Amino acid sequence: MRAHRPDDAIAVLGLTATDLWPGEEWNFVFGMATYDQRVGVWSVARFGDPAQDRLGLLRRMLKTALHETGHMFTMHHCTAWNCLMSGSNNLRETDRRTMDACPECTAKIWVLSGCDPAARFQALAKLAGEHDLDAEQAQWLKAAETLVAP
């Protein structure tokens, strides 16, 4: 995929409905990304039927896309917390993982991206609200308010 990443792109993340596996010793992976080339791909092949659980499928998709994006920005799996960057070997682990990063990984995101933390949480809350992700919206609004409170 690196050959297809435009020179002005920060990263490129592909989406497929095809199962992914990085080698013979693997069963499958939900996604793969490189730390150095900033390219990755993730699959919805094992995420379930959107007609059965639209919000559940959306959460799985967002968690996986965000997780792989973290890898493209040199973030490794988090083993200290249940967080967005925690590894996931099955749907139960994916569903248990939060959609946001833990305090340690959040700090890494701020350093790596140079973003305004309060503005990031406000944008995440807006996105969550647009897609009926009520619990996530409440969490991110609270985080944004906490960061701007005196």
The pLDDT value recorded for residue 14 is 92
For residue 124, give the nearest of 149, 104, 98, 91 by alpha carbon.
Answer: 98
The structure's pTM equals: 0.85
Number of domains the chain is built from: 2
Q: What is the pLDDT of residues 30-39, one digit of tens each?
A: 999 998 899 9
Structure tokens at 33: 């990304």
Structure tokens at 116: 């305004």
DSSP category for residue 62: H
Residue in 24, 25, 68, 136 annotated catalytic: 68
Q: Domain residues for 139?
A: 115-150
- SS3 at position 39: strand
93 given a catalytic annotation: no
| Alpha helices in 1-150, H assignment, sequence order | 54-72, 91-96, 103-113, 117-130, 134-148
In a domain, 106, yes or no: no
Same domain, residue pair 78 and 21: yes
